[in-house]
């Protein structure tokens, strides 16, 4: 164990696009765990779009990161010291320890995980928050039936890739929307979607029409903006929309205004936004299913990995610009 703990803290609140000046790398002593606490050496840091909202002090569903505070984030690592009988050194755990090498937290803030059949990093992806987000939004909100068409935006990402595979397992037709030929090829050839529309190709409306000749019954929305508007035009009567994210607007000072809201009335749509951390009672069932699918090789996923905590800001900015491919992680050890 080293004698210092590297941390990345929030140095400023961005207006518009994030840049590296909004972060600061600091070095502090490794914390000592108190009574009932556990000291963890983080091996992996998860980078996720929701973090952009935590950098702002605008009203939201969660408290913002304080200026000078450690950036929020999910982590997976190993217990190095414990003052709680539930955990022993060497245990693999996941928690919300943030952008740092070490964290001392109450034992209740950690979940012990089994890496015998599931890699540790997967507990931050398909068997973690992104996977549960996909599982909950699809099952609880979209409620797809066999034979229906499910559309997923950001289909090659950590959440979207799981949504499409779960939809296929339910007997649905899965159509993705992604940016670039390579991502669309991956979505169809490796993830098993029936089709994928490249929104960067310049023919969004016509390509969606071709990919959705019978319209769509379920939409798992991660992006928003013009893509969401165009998809509203393809909805069937009584289609369901799980509104998971609107990343197209996260870094703009002039948010896109939906122009096709009439479709909500005409198609009698049911649309619901959701925050997966508000449905913790659903996590055990979701994680059991997802872990089984990953362990058996039935659920595929891909990771983009940045090496070293100091490269987390650049990787996060790349994530917001769609430069990642699959789940964006930072390897810390």
User: Does residue 227 carry a pLDDT above 90?
Assistant: yes
Give the pLDDT confidence of 244-268 residue by residue, as tens digits.
999 999 998 888 889 999 999 999 9
Are 268 and 238 spatial neighbours (Cβ–Cβ below 8 Å)? yes
Distance of alpha carbon 179 from its chain centroid, rounded? Answer: 17
Tokens of 108: 């209740």
Strands 23-29, 216-221: pairing is unpaired
| Residue tagged 């559309």 (tokens) | 151
User: Does residue 1 carry a pLDDT above 80?
Assistant: no
DSSP states along 10-36: E----SSS--GGGEEEEEEEPPPP-TT
Bridge partners (DSSP) of residue 39 are 81, 104
Residue 255: predicted pLDDT: 86
CA distance 23 to 36: 31
Tokens of 46: 């998860």
Question: Regarding the domain delimited by 4-125+301-331, which CATH topology (the fold level of the hierarchy) does it fall under?
Answer: Quinone Oxidoreductase; Chain A, domain 1 (3.90.180)
Residue 61: predicted pLDDT: 86
pTM (two decimals):
0.94
Bridge partners (DSSP) of residue 256 are none
In the 8-state DSSP scheme, what is residue 65? P
Give the pLDDT confidence of 40-67 residue by residue, as tens digits.
999 999 999 999 999 999 888 889 999 9
Give the pLDDT confidence of 285-320 residue by residue, as tens digits.
999 999 999 999 999 999 999 999 999 999 999 999
CA distance 148 to 136: 18
Residue 206: predicted pLDDT: 97
pLDDT band at 2 (very low <50, low <70, confident <90, very high): low
Domain 129-277 has CATH 3.40.50.800: no
Which residues of the chain are in CATH 3.40.50.720 domains?
Answer: 129-277
**What is the CA angle 132-330-164, rounded to 5?**
30
Tokens of 43: 């091996």
The closest of 191, 193, 198 to 302, measured between CA atoms, is 191
Kindly give the residue spans of alpha helices, DSSP state H, lying in the chain: 50-54, 129-136, 160-169, 181-189, 204-211, 225-232, 262-266, 283-295, 312-320
The closest of 88, 80, 87, 68 to 28, measured between CA atoms, is 68
Which residues of the chain are in CATH 3.90.180.10 domains?
Answer: 4-125+301-331
The closest of 71, 47, 106 to 319, measured between CA atoms, is 47
CA distance 322 to 203: 19
Are 166 and 138 spatial neighbours (Cβ–Cβ below 8 Å)? yes
């Amino acid at each position: 164990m080293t004698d210092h703990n590297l941390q990345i803290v929030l140095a400023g609140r961005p207006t518009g696009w994030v840049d590296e000046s909004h972060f600061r790398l600091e070095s502090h002593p490794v914390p000592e765990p108190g009574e009932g606490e556990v000291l963890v050496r983080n091996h992996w840091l998860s980078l996720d779009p929701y973090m952009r909202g935590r950098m702002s002090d605008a009203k939201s569903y969660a408290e913002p990161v304080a200026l000078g505070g450690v950036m929020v984030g999910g982590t997976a690592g190993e217990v190095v010291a414990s003052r709680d009988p539930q955990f022993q050194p060497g245990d693999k755990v996941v928690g919300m320890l943030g952008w740092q090498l070490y964290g001392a937290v109450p034992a209740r803030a950690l979940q012990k995980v089994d890496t015998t059949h599931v890699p540790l990093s997967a507990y931050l992806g398909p068997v973690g928050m992104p996977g549960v987000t996909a599982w909950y939004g699809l099952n609880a909100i979209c409620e797809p039936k066999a034979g229906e068409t499910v559309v997923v935006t950001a289909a090659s990402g950590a959440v979207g890739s799981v949504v499409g595979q779960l939809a296929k397992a339910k007997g649905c037709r899965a159509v993705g929307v992604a940016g670039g030929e390579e991502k669309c090829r991956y979505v169809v050839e490796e993830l098993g979607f029936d089709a994928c529309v490249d929104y960067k190709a310049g023919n969004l409306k016509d390509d969606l029409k071709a990919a959705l000749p019978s319209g769509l019954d379920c939409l798992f929305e991660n992006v928003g903006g013009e893509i969401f508007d165009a998809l509203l035009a393809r909805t069937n009567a009584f289609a369901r929309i799980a509104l998971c994210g609107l990343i197209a607007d996260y870094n703009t000072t002039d948010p896109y205004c939906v122009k096709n809201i009439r479709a909500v009335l005409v198609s009698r749509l049911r649309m619901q936004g959701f925050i997966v951390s508000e449905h913790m009672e659903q996590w055990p069932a979701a994680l059991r299913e997802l872990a089984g699918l990953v362990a058996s090789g039935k659920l595929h996923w891909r990771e983009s990995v940045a090496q070293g905590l100091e490269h987390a800001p650049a990787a996060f900015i790349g994530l917001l610009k769609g430069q990642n491919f699959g789940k964006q992680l930072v390897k810390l050890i």
